[in-house]
Every structure is written in structure tokens, then in C-alpha cells.
Structure 1
Amino acid sequence: MKRPRVRDDLALHPGYHSPQVEVDVRLNTNEAPEPPPEGFREALAAELAGVEWHRYPDRAATELREAIAAHHGVQASQVFVANGSNEVLQTLCLTYGGPGRSVATFEPTYALHSHIPKITNTAVVSGERTEDFALDMDEVRRVLTEHDPTITFLCSPNNPTGMVETEETVRAVADLAPGLVVVDEAYGQFAPWSALELVDETSPIVVTRTYSKTWSMAAARLGYLIGPTWLVEELSEVVLPYHLDAVKQIAGRVALDFEPQMRRRVSDLVEERGRVTAALSQLPVTVWPSGANFILFRPDAVDGDTVWQRLVERSVLVRNCASWPRLDGCLRITLGTPGEDDRFLDALTDILETS
């Protein structure tokens, strides 16, 4: 059988995976712990009844972009939508990356900030964070000056560490960056401030968001970007035609009608984050402060791989972060329902006390 070869630069490139096993308590993928609010399914079904299935969807996703713009107090021309925030990142790399260009990341951070550029044949240059995983501005200056990246990725709150970048830090990076500064705010609703405040027509700052977390719509794969109108126009020229289907456009618009319920859920999860963090601080583990819907921790006396496996044996799944740079022995728990979090805390306490 004749078979084409994979591109040489991708042949040994590992894929991105989040291992899934059958457990009672799944706290490893930063999803919302509950489905959309009551009434969402009915409202969505009513709107879907009017879909003209034999017609292509609105190529510009006009109504969805207008709804997102109204939600954030910006213009629809500043909104780009795609199949999850990862497709937003991919479109940015296809538009501004490519051979001879580079993106900058600061590790540890979201793995797809490196994975997606490599797939688009864009070089990745990485700097180190400080001991407590904060951005080191001297290191930022070195990386940006030496490598001249067309895109600099920040993640706030940072995945998997949970750290929120300050407004001062984002402004400082934007002043140093030779190209775009992409602030990935997949967990931005859980943080005390947003870089959306800094987006305008003259700034190199753009912000990406997702429906997967606070909107309880991970199954839909819907994300968006807020940025200058000129950037949105350029992204729209690169993305595939009719890339966002009619169902997704309607679902995203309908979800925004339930904003009060979502805000209450965010508030509840922030309170739950405090409770779980306090409980972890009473155990022999190192815990990092988080502004997201997850918490990073490292067992002090027991190997992280061992703890992860023993949690699975107790039907609790968390994320093993050992493959991230500088995160040997670290685990990350996604906040679940109070009952799920109690199952995790009880299991972890038992493991640490009997090891």
C-alpha cells in the first residue's frame, strides 16, 4: 500500500492527550461540574426548530458575535469566534506564525501554546518563570529581545499553576513585545480582573475566552477572541469558510441569556476553591494559590505518580502534571461539586496518612 509520509517536523511530535479512565469522580479536565442551567436545553431546542438545514450557516456568525460583543461592552467587529479557543489560537498562528517566525511562551504554562505553533511550522521559544511560577520580567525581556516573536502567549489564570497576571505585568509585557500579546483567559471569569480592559485599536493585546468552563458547554467546542478590528478582519480571511456551524452559533447566543445563573455559579466555585485550598493546606502537600477553577499541589513526602494512581484506585481522577516543565510530582484538581471535592479530600487524606 502506498502511503504518504508525515511532515518531517511532525513525525516525532507527540500529540496532546488528557488520559481518561472510568471513575466515579472526574476532576482532571477543568470542566464545569454541572450542566447548563435549567431552561437552556428547552430554549436551545426551540431555536433549533427553525434551522434551515439545507443552507450553510452564517459565515460571519453575525448574531453570535453581536451577542458576545454586547456581553463584553465592545463592538461586534472586535469579536472572532471559532471551534473552541484552541481553534482561535490555531488561527492566530496560521495568520501571524509560519516558517521563519516564532512565538514566545513562559513555562510552565498551557501545553497547547507550544503544541499548536509547532503544528503550524512556527518556532517556539520558551523562557523560565520564577521559583513561585511568576513571570520574571528580566527573562521576558531577554526572550523577546533575542527572538523577536510575532506572538507572545500569556495565560491568566495560568494553566496549570493558577496564577493571575496583574495589569501591571500585562502592560509591561505588551510594552516589550515586538508583536501580539495573546492573553489566554480560558479561566478569566474566576479571576479578580481581566485583560479585556486593555484591548483597543492601538494595543497589541488580544484576549481569548471559551464557553467550555463557566458556561458549562465543553461539549459544544466554542471559543472566541476580543481584539482590534483589523486583527479580526485578518483572522477572518484565514479561517476556513463556514467553519462555525449553525447549532454552535445558536447555542452560544442562547447561553448568554443565562448570564445571571452563570455569575452565581462562578461565585459558588470561587467560594468552593477557598474551602478546598484551606483543606489542602492542612495536609502534607505544597499548594499554589489559584485564580481559576483548579488547584495545583504537590505531595510533600509521597511521589505524585503514586498518589495519582492511588486516587484512581479510589475512583477519583485528577490531572498528573509531571510532564509539564518543572512540575515533577505535581497534581492538579479541577473543582467539582462539594460532594465530589469531599470524595477527593477524603481519598487524598487517607492516601497520605497510610503511605
Structure 2
Amino acid sequence: MKSPISRYFRPEVLREHAYTLASHPEAIKLNQNELPYDLPPELKEELFSRLQALPFQRYPLPQPIALKQRTAEMLGVKPGQIQFANGSNVIIQALILATALRGRVMVLDPTFSVYEIEAKLFGNRVVKIPLNEKDFSLPIAKAFAQIKKTKPNIIFLANPNAPTGNLFSEEALLEIVTRARCLVVVDEAYFQFSQLTLLAQLKRFPNLVLLRTFSKGFGLGGVRVGYLVAREAVAENLSKILLPYCLSTVSESIAHFALDHQEYFKTIIAEVIREREKMVAAMRVLPKIKVFDSAANFILFRVKNAKACFERLLKAGILVRNVSDRGHLKNCLRVSVGKPEENEAFLHALSAV
């Protein structure tokens, strides 16, 4: 029997499920692709002293002008090419709202689930391009055929892709950008771990949009800072969709702090990359486990029974992500790269499964 409340909501909202994630605070947390280290005490003390000077009763600017200027100088673009928001998820939603209402949104399969969730909430048909099953590479010919057939309103491509972790070539991505007659959003959330970016291509392609976040390489997942880089006209039109004050004064201040300490974060990223390669090598020695290449801060692997493996790892105090409910990911799990001792604990537990 339908709830009487349901009459107040659009059918698209009633059909969808909210994005959820189970919490297991007792376990080593290797399930959300976070940087493994919090700020050290001396940096936190420095940060807190800055925050104490902020006037909390004052609204922030509609857009963080100083942060946009600084980021633009760092990237070699104009400030008008950048839009900040309370996490890149907010920008994903705004891009769909700006381009596709009851239209067509093209995504890869598998990929970051928020693209599909937000697309459906606005009544869009989701056009999926299944990645090649063997290695999750991009089937360019199939992508071209779907672009020609469905004429999408917007395309989302994560690079490195999540949850697979593999990297698509610049050539392949730009072929899609060239063929598409819509915005093509390349989500570079993990680019600090791959060092591949299409930033230099923004001058060539007016429909290319890049997404970035402070959650991964800067370890600020709890602060919620994301931004878009695109042509100025694209950024300007998106600003009409984004709500005013969509980045708090506190978040902006912490983002500035992170940019002040980029060398610290670079050392952590380098450690994560080294640990990733060590983990991949160690996992490939284990029997009955297929490990996929990764250019991100996580590793996808396939086991005989994902549900049983997940539960046994959790019982051993290790929390990973079960992603086996998505296309081509049958019996697949994903593990974030943690601190060296956390990775050792994971490998020990996995070898005992």
C-alpha cells in the first residue's frame, strides 16, 4: 500500500534509493578511497588558529573569489573558468540540472554511481556504455555508435575510473569529446594519483569540462570542497544553477590552508602510490584472486565469492567496499590504499580468506 506522503513527490524520486554506506567504526576503514592520514597535530594547530580569526556570523561570498584566483593561477587558467561548490557531487547535480531534464545522460558501466542517481532523479534516460569486461578499457566504437544514436545531453567520464581504477588514454577521451555535441565531463577526482589531466585541452574543446576535488589528494573528504574547470561561458552558466554561498567560509579557509601545504600532501600521495604498487604485487601472488591495474588510490579485485570475502575481512577487522552489484563487477571488491600497517593487516586477512 502506498504511503499518503508519496503523492507529494515526483515519481522519479519515489523510484530511486538514497545513496547510503554502512558504518563499521570498529574496523580498519579501507572502503571510501580516502587519504590514509589526517593532518598532523602541528598543522592542525596552525589551521585552528586561522579558523579562530574567521567571523562566523558573516556570510561567505557567493563564490570564493580569492580561492578561484589562486586556483586559476595554479592551473594556468582564468578565474572565470572555475566554479567551486560544496563537493564535486554538488557540481555533478548542477551540470545535469543545467543540461538534461527528461533527456539523455551518457555514462560508462561501471562507473561512479552518483552520475546515474542524479540523472534519474531529473527524469533522464541513462545511456550506459559497458566497458570491456577483460580489463575495463573503453570500447571506442561502441561509444561513438551510442553518441550518434542517442544524442546525449551530457556525458560523464571518470578518469581514472571508479570503482575500476583504470586509466583511459587522452587520445580515447578526446575522440569522444570531438564526436559529442554536448558537454563531456571528465571527472579527475583521482588525477593526483595518475598524473594524467586534460587541463591543456580546454583551449581546444569548448565542450570539455573537468571536475576536481579536495577530498582525495588533499585528504579533505570531511570538508567538502570541489570545483569545475571549463570555458568561461560554461562556468558562467553553471553559476546560475549553483545555489548562492555554496562553499562555506570555513571550507574555503581550509582549502587555502591545503594549498599552502601542497608539499606535505605530495609526500603522502607518493607514499600512497608506492603502497598501491606493493599491494598489487602482493595480492597477485595470492591464489584465486584477480587484481586489476589501478592508477588511483584504491585497488579492484575479484574473488570467488564477494559477499563471503567481504564478511570474513570485516570479521578480521578490515572494512572494504563490496561493488559486486554493478556491471561486469561480479564478485568484485575494492580496497583503498591505507597506511603501511593497515595495508599489511588487509593483506594478512585476505591471505587467510
Q: TM-score range by the shorter chain?
A: over 0.9
Distance across 2 between alignment mates of 1:130 and 1:323: 17
Residues 1:109 and 2:106 are matched in the alignment: no
Partner of 1:126: 128
Q: 1:332 aligns with which of 320, 331, 334?
A: 334
Residues 1:281 and 2:284 are matched in the alignment: yes
CA gap of 1:48–1:236, structure 2 versus 1, over 3 A, is same
Give the conservation status (yes or no) of the 8 Å contact 1:296–1:331: yes
Distance across 1 between alignment mates of 2:118 and 2:140: 25
Deviations 1:174-205 (A, max 9, x none): 11111011001111110131112212274311
SS in 2 for 1:199: helix
Residues 1:247 and 2:241 are matched in the alignment: no
Distance across 2 between alignment mates of 1:146 and 1:112: 24
By how many angstroms is 1:6 displaced?
2.3
Q: Which amino acid aligns with 2:333?
A: L
Distance across 2 between alignment mates of 1:38 and 1:64: 25
Partner of 2:300: 296
- Residue correspondences, number: 348
Q: 1:167 aligns with which of 155, 164, 170?
A: 170
TM-score w.r.t. structure 1 length? 0.94
Structure 2 unaligned blocks of 5 or more: none
CA gap of 1:158–1:308, structure 2 versus 1, over 3 A, is same
Distance across 1 between alignment mates of 2:123 and 2:204: 28
CA gap of 1:325–1:24, structure 2 versus 1, over 3 A, is same
Give the conservation status (yes or no) of the 8 Å contact 2:300–2:334: yes
Give the conservation status (yes or no) of the 8 Å contact 2:12–2:122: no
Q: 1:74 aligns with which of 77, 96, 112?
A: 77
CA gap of 1:258–1:38, structure 2 versus 1, over 3 A, is farther
Distance across 1 between alignment mates of 2:315 and 2:240: 49
Residues 1:218 and 2:221 are matched in the alignment: yes
CA gap of 1:192–1:216, structure 2 versus 1, over 3 A, is closer
Residues 1:179 and 2:171 are matched in the alignment: no
Partner of 1:9: 12
Distance across 2 between alignment mates of 1:106 and 1:332: 18
Identity of matched residues, %? 32
Partner of 1:23: 26
Partner of 1:236: 239
- Alpha-carbon RMSD across the aligned residues, in angstroms, is 1.6
SS in 2 for 1:220: coil
TM-score w.r.t. structure 2 length? 0.95
SS in 2 for 1:127: strand
SS in 1 for 2:261: helix
Give the conservation status (yes or no) of the 8 Å contact 1:104–1:124: yes
Give the conservation status (yes or no) of the 8 Å contact 1:153–1:181: yes
Give the conservation status (yes or no) of the 8 Å contact 2:91–2:242: no
By how many angstroms is 1:19 displaced?
2.1
Structure 1 unaligned blocks of 5 or more: none
